[in-house]
Amino acid sequence: MQKILIVEDDPLIQHLVYATLAGDARYQLLQASEGQSGLRLARTEHPAIVLLDVDLPFMSGLEICSELKNDQACRDIKIIMLTALSQATDRERAKQAGADSYFVKPFSPLGLLRKIDELLAE
């Protein structure tokens, strides 16, 4: 069973992502609604994938991404950014922070599932 951590402060988006993944017995889902607890969970639970909002309370998703990718023990965690930020500069900042993929809200749940499967197969 693969652990997936959802770090999202919007309860509706968090519920949508959770509901999209909850029916799949291959995944154990973890959730956090702010940046610091998300980073802590990622470091202690070591999920295969973190689904990470950019705009979070206390610590941004970009900061979390960078922290994880610069941590020897966590750099293999795949990070998918889920954000309303859609400019090319936003995508570039996520790439520089180490994000493995970038989805703009609203996103296709099926597209997200395909990307998760792709990243887990790597």
| Structural fold of domain 2-116 | Rossmann fold (3.40.50)
Cβ neighbors of 104 (< 8 A, separation 6 or more) are 83, 84, 85, 86
pTM above 0.85?
A: yes
Tens digits of residue pLDDT in 40-96: 999 999 999 999 999 999 899 999 999 999 999 999 999 999 998 889 999 999 999
> What is the tens place of the pLDDT at every residue in 12-51?
999 999 999 998 899 999 999 999 999 999 999 999 999 9
Domain borders along the chain are 2-116
